[in-house]
Amino acid sequence: MQRLVELVLLLIVLTNFMVLGTSRLSTCIRAIAFQGLLLGLLPPLLHRSLAVYTVALALSAIAVKAIILPRFLQWAIREASVRREIEPRIGFVASLLLGAVAVAVAFGTAQQLPLPDRGGSLAVAVSLATVICGLIVLTSRARALTQVVGYLMLENGVYLFGLTQAARVPFLVELGMLLDVFVGVFIMGIVVFHINREFDSLSDTDLTELSER
């Protein structure tokens, strides 16, 4: 069981690298969907129970993170006809290296954190790494849609961190968080779609001026 948890956590880190290294948006979205699926599998594995609470949490996470949101983002890139990230502020090679450094930092600090309920330091480390990688994607990419993926990654990290402390987080709070993310991504997707229709571009560098041209 412990090996299975480790495997899932390692795959989560690998999906982080995949998002950091790819220029194709649909690959990005597929990676984040896979990450959502892995996250959904974690609650029953981590807590070794098949209680209604954990199963419901797992199913709702899979439904939102692995099915609904990726579908929606795929729809958005099809409608907005963006295929790939054009010129990120930090290149793909550099962001991969940054990601590797982030993972190293996360694994280094995770052991020093004075956490009350440690669901294994590996899970904490992976959640930190995911949060940092999400931040890198959020800040370094120019496409609004990739930034949404970065936001999702960030949230996945937070969710995973919550799981390691799950005994203290009530079900309602988890569901509330899922709903928040769902609504957030939905609104972002719609905004992105409309921006694209109005300005024919999704690059946020074009959105810094308010004046009419």
Partner 1 sequence: MLSAIAGLLLVMLVAPLLPGVAGRTKAILTGRRGPPLLQLYYDLARLFRKGVVYSTTTTWMFRLAPVVLAVSALLAACLIPLDGHAAIVGFAGDVIVFTYLLALGRFVLVLASLDTGSSFEGMGASREVTFASFTEVAFFFALIALSLATDSLSFAGMLGAPLVTAWPSAAPSIVMAAATLFVVLLAETSRVPFDDPATHLELTMIHEVMVLDHGGPDLALILYASALKLTLFASIVISVVVPRGMLNPFLALAVLAAGLLAVGIAIGIVESVMARLRLTRVPQVLVAAGALAAFGVILLLR
**If binding is defined by CB under 8 A, does position 182 make contact with partner 1?**
no
Which residues inside 17-76 make contact with partner 1, applying CB under 8 A?
17, 21
Number of neighbouring beta carbons within 10 Å of residue 154: 20
x/- binding map, residues 104-143, to partner 1, per CB under 8 A? x--x---x---------xx--x------------------
Identity of the residue, 6 or 177, whose beta carbon is nearer to partner 1 in the bound complex: 6
Contact 147, 141 (CB under 8 A): yes
Q: How far apart are CA 40 and CA 209, in angstroms?
A: 41
Task: Find the part of the chain contacting partner 1 (CB under 8 A) among 80-88, 103-111, 145-153, 163-171.
Answer: 103-111
Distance CA 197, CA 193 (A): 6
* 73, 77, 103, 132: residue in contact with partner 1 (rule CB under 8 A): 103
With a CB cutoff of 8 Å and minimum separation 6, the contacts of 142 are 85, 86, 87, 88, 89, 203, 204, 205
Stretch that binds partner 1, among 40-48, 53-61, 95-103, 135-143 (CB under 8 A): 95-103
Q: Which of 97, 183, 190, 191 binds partner 1 (CB under 8 A)?
A: 97
Tell me the closest approach of the beta carbon of residue 16 to partner 1, in angstroms. 10
Alpha helices in 48-140 (DSSP H): 52-61, 69-80, 92-110, 121-140
Beta bridge partner(s), residue 143: 203
Q: Residue 202: which H helix or E strand, with range?
A: none
Q: How far is the CB of 26 from partner 1 (least distance, A)?
A: 17
Q: Which of 25, 4, 45 is nearest to 150 (CA)?
A: 25
Among 70, 88, 99, 134, binds partner 1 (CB under 8 A): 99
Listed ranges 4-12, 62-70, 80-88, 182-190: which one lies at the site for partner 1 (CB under 8 A)? 4-12
User: Which residues, 6+ apart, have CB-to-CB distance to 53 below 8 Å?
Assistant: 171
Question: Which residues of this chain interact with partner 1, rule CB under 8 A?
Answer: 6-7, 10, 13-14, 17, 21, 92-93, 96-97, 99-100, 103-104, 107, 111, 121-122, 125
